[in-house]
Amino acid sequence: MTRFRLLALTVSLLAAGLMGEHAAAGSMTQDVQFTSLETYPGAAGQPPGEVMGQLTLPAGEGPFPVVMMLHGCAGLYETHAEWAELLAAQGFASLRIDSFTPRDIEEICTDILRPIPRAADVNGAIVFLQGRPQIDSTRIAVMGWSHGAGVTLQIAAEPGSLRGDLKSAVKGAVALYPYCSRTSQAYRTPLLVLVGDADDWTPASICSDMVAALPPSSAPVELAVYPGATHSFDCRACDGEYWGHHLVHDEAAHTDAIARVEAFLAATLGTP
């Protein structure tokens, strides 16, 4: 069994016990499928195809504000399911976009520069959500982890990677341990960045430099740097070396991140 599969199995077993604690009463999750849409012809460099996902709806009739969730280089696992239930408990729907399974990809942690049309997946997700009556498509945010957090930065940036007619749909962005921009980048939408200062994969110092270099035209960027926290600090099963990097759950950072995300979404999307 590979280290990746062992981690995924461990996280799944652990999360089975956690869901009872964190599951939102009456929430519902369903598998969905939608078409990935290029930002412009040829932008993806490959046929974007169909994308899978899990749509979680809070209890009630809606329509609900929604958070599009972008996984990291290991794909979707129970950390994202736990976040989806936490968001549902706060009244937010979520769409966990699976960019790997439809493309027969297990992970890209060992091939991090492999081209995946993830911006096209987000374009398709927005159009899909705009057609769902349970969703308030005027209140959409994006939230990404690691590789998906890097995609989140691109989506939030100006000019960014989204299709022009869909840019205004995204009202806020949350990036957990992204590889931040090394240039003076303006952001179109408010951005929350959460990273640990012991992260040896996506260094917090680059994010600090990015925020210091924000141009006056940028939307506000909130940065929280957690002392002693590593990459994947919100992964409850992480406790060791994975793909050459140190990943350990940090309860204090995780708890603070949950509170910050809740406050940020309330500020950018409004109270559900």
Give the CATH number for residue 165. 3.40.50.1820
Per residue in 71-130, pLDDT (tens digit) is 999 999 999 999 999 999 999 999 999 999 999 999 999 998 898 999 999 999 999 999
Number of domains, the chain = 1
Determine contact, residues 142/155, Cβ cutoff 8 Å.
yes
Residue 5 CB: number of other CB atoms within 10 A?
11
Which of 9-13, 209-213, 217-221, 222-226 has the weakest average pLDDT? 9-13
User: Residue 96's domain spans which residues?
Assistant: 3-269
- What is the predicted pLDDT for the residue at 26? 84
- Please give the average per-residue pLDDT across 23-34, as a whole number: 86
Task: Indicate the average pLDDT of the chain.
Answer: 90
- What is the predicted pLDDT for the residue at 183? 85
Predicted structure pTM score: 0.90
Query: How many C-alpha atoms does 97 have within 13 Å on its Cβ side?
Result: 34
Nearest alpha carbon to residue 127 among 163, 103, 160: 163
Nearest alpha carbon to residue 139 among 262, 5, 265, 269: 269
